[in-house]
Amino acid sequence: MNASKQSLAEIEALKRKVKREKSARHQSEQILERKSTELYHTNQKLKQALAELDERAIAKEKQLVGELRANQDTTRTLLDSAQEGIFGANSNGRLFSFNRAAEEMFGYDSGDVIGAGVSILLASPYREQSDESLRSFLQSGDESFLQESRELIAQRADGSHFPIELWVVNTVSADGTIFFILIRDLSAQKAAEQEIFKKEVEVQQARDHLAHIARVATLGEIAAGIAHEVNQPLAAITTYAQSGHRLLDAKVREKDDIAYVLQQIERQASRASEVISRLRSSIKYGAATRERTSIDTIIADTLTLICVEADRKKVEVEYRPECDLEPIDVDSVQIQQVLINLIINAIQALEAANVQQPRVVLRTEPRAHQQIYVSVTDNGPPISRETMDQLFTPFFSTKEHGLGIGLSLCRTLIAAHGGSLNINRNRREGNEFFFTLPTINAVVKASKKMESSNG
């Protein structure tokens, strides 16, 4: 029995141990369960937190993408709305953007040219130079590549050429230096310039032509005098030659007489040809040519042309020169033409008014600011104020057959020489027309002034 009792006790002990262990395990299980639940909750929380984070990140990303896209659209719109052709190129000269204006100018779709080299947009020889200048800029960083706009010839998709003005702007991005190239189509401007140039040429031609007409008209008025001047030596030559024939026919020949006749014929022939060459130089039709001369020379030449006409009309033409006048750079023929116009006008006015002792006086004087002053004064009846106001109006004339070109053209010619022509309005007696011309020193000074203001 003891044994059994012992066994029972042991069993009891075992039972209690099991019970204890069971309780402990249960306790552990409970703890585990509790812990597990906690863990689950934590996990849930974490999951939730992560989900929230994710959501925020996506939203942020969405916002950024949206903003970027909006930015790109704005840029695109901006670029496309520009009048200038604008395209971007990377440091290898490959195009990465091409705006609408550029598409229109060049006839390319942007898709066609993106990735291609800038050089395809240029005509030879710029095409060949473009890569080289890009390279040299990248190597040297020479800023002049960027500073100035330049004019080049571009080539369209269809191979045709057109003039452009081009600026290059550079910026540094993550991919290295990139360039934006701005282009303005100069076709219209060039065409307009061409048109203006053509018009200017036409105007100049018209003016030359008008000058020619007026010169011929003026010369027509003194043609009778010129004809007389040529005819005199011709008449003498004829008579000498006829006398020569008679001398040859004469029974007694005098050798000296024949020699004399021949010598005289020669002399008169050269006299006639001098008149002709003087006349020819006066009617020479062509663009203005400037040469250095003195107003004295011009007046002297003018007076030889005018003297016969003056004699014919019995008008005394007198020149009162001022010594030591500075030389001038002018078209002598044009200045002569102005003088002839003024003198012929005076002679005709004196004749029309039937003035006693008609007289025309030419004067020259130095004036301030390196100008010389030339005046033509007559002693005819003063021109009325109303007429004075219209004197220089083209096609105004008081003469029955006047063209009304003379004075307005004279004024244009003098103005073209940097001078001015006018009538003296303060005279009580007679009429004084005068003009000024800059001397060579005035011309030099003016050009120096321009140089210094430019520099």
Partner 1 sequence: MVDVNNATVYVVDDDEAILDSLQLLLKTAGLRACTYDGPEKFLSDYQPTRPGCLILDIQMPGMTGLELQEILADVGSILPIIFITGHADIPIAVQAMKDGAFEFLQKPFNDTVLLDYVTKALSLNERQQKEITATQSVIARIEKLSPREKQVFEKVAEGKSGKVIASELNLSPRTIEIYRSHVMLKMQATSAVELANLMNITR
How far is residue 79's CA from residue 71's CA, in Å, rounded to a whole number?
Answer: 12
Nearer CB in complex with partner 1: 185/229 = 229
Cβ-based nearer residue to partner 1, 237 or 299: 237
Least distance (Å) from partner 1 to the CB of residue 352? Answer: 18
Shortest separation between residue 271's beta carbon and partner 1, angstroms: 8
Q: β-strand 95-98 against 85-90: which pairing, if any?
A: antiparallel
Burial class of residue 410 (count of CB atoms within 10 Å of its CB; 0-12, 13-18, 19+): buried
Among residues 31, 235, 283, 352, which is the contact residue for partner 1, using CB under 8 A? 235
How many residues touch partner 1 under the rule CB under 8 A: the total is: 28
119 binds partner 1 (CB under 8 A): no
Q: Is 447 a residue that touches partner 1 (CB under 8 A)?
A: no
Q: Which is nearer to partner 1, 94 or 271 (CB)?
A: 271
The least distance separating partner 1 from the CB of residue 302, rounded to whole angstroms, comes to: 18
177 binds partner 1 (CB under 8 A): no
Any contact of residue 257 with partner 1 (CB under 8 A)? yes
Please state the closest distance from residue 431 (CB atom) to partner 1, in A. Answer: 24
Q: Which C-beta is closer to partner 1: that of 135 or that of 245? A: 245
Does position 227 interact with partner 1 (CB under 8 A)? The reply is yes
Which member of 126, 240, 373, 434 binds partner 1 (CB under 8 A)?
240
Q: Count other Cβ atoms within 10 Å, centred on residue 306.
A: 22
Cα-based angle 375, 379, 384 (whole degrees, multiple of 5): 90
Does position 25 interact with partner 1 (CB under 8 A)? The reply is: no
Tell me the per-residue interface mask from 268 to 307 with partner 1, x by CB under 8 A, - otherwise.
x--x------------------------------------
Nearer to partner 1 by Cβ, of 214 and 237: the residue is 237
210 near partner 1, judged by CB under 8 A: no
Q: Which residues bind partner 1 (CB under 8 A)?
A: 224, 227-228, 231-240, 242-243, 245-247, 250, 257, 260-261, 264, 267-268, 271, 311-312
